């Protein structure tokens, strides 16, 4: 709330307190980078921004993981939260094919 009200001193205290409890909290890194920049602490801002860039998810990773699973169906079956062991391999493959069907966002269907 303090950040939105442009009360950067109080916002800084709150986010630094959060970061002292959880040094890997991404929201603290994101807002502290902006706050430090606003109050003229460019070095600290750069440190927070670099830490955030190192720890946040890579947007391209989901594409690479899906491609790997499509190319390695036996592994893909094991990482799904609910799957069946045993039975005919054909029945397992049919369910996997349904999961990895061709779509606008996943063009590598079986």
Per-residue pLDDT of the chain (110 residues; tens, 9 = 90+): 888 898 999 999 999 999 999 998 999 999 999 999 999 998 999 999 999 988 888 777 888 888 887 888 777 767 766 666 666 655 555 555 555 555 555 555 54
Do 86 and 69 lie in one domain? The reply is yes
Do 50 and 67 lie in one domain? The reply is no
Is residue 81 assigned to a domain? yes
φ, ψ of residue 65 in degrees (nearest 5): -65, -45
Is residue 68 assigned to a domain? yes
Is residue 105 assigned to a domain? no
Do 29 and 15 lie in one domain? The reply is yes
Query: What is the number of structural domains in the chain?
Result: 2
Is residue 2 assigned to a domain? no
Is residue 30 assigned to a domain? yes
Do 46 and 65 lie in one domain? The reply is no
Do 19 and 51 lie in one domain? The reply is yes
Residue range of the domain that includes 76: 61-99
Q: pTM for the whole thing?
A: 0.54
């Amino acid at each position: 709330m303090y950040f939105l009200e442009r009360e950067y001193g109080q916002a800084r205290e709150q986010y630094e307190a959060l970061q002292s409890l959880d040094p890997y909290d991404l929201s603290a890194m994101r807002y502290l980078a902006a706050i430090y920049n606003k109050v003229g602490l460019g070095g600290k801002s750069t440190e927070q921004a670099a830490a955030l860039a190192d720890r946040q998810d890579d947007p391209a990773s989901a594409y690479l993981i899906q491609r790997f699973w499509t190319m390695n169906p036996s592994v893909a079956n094991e990482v799904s939260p609910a799957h069946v062991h045993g039975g005919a391999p054909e029945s397992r493959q049919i369910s996997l094919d349904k999961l990895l069907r061709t779509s606008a966002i996943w063009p590598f269907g079986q």
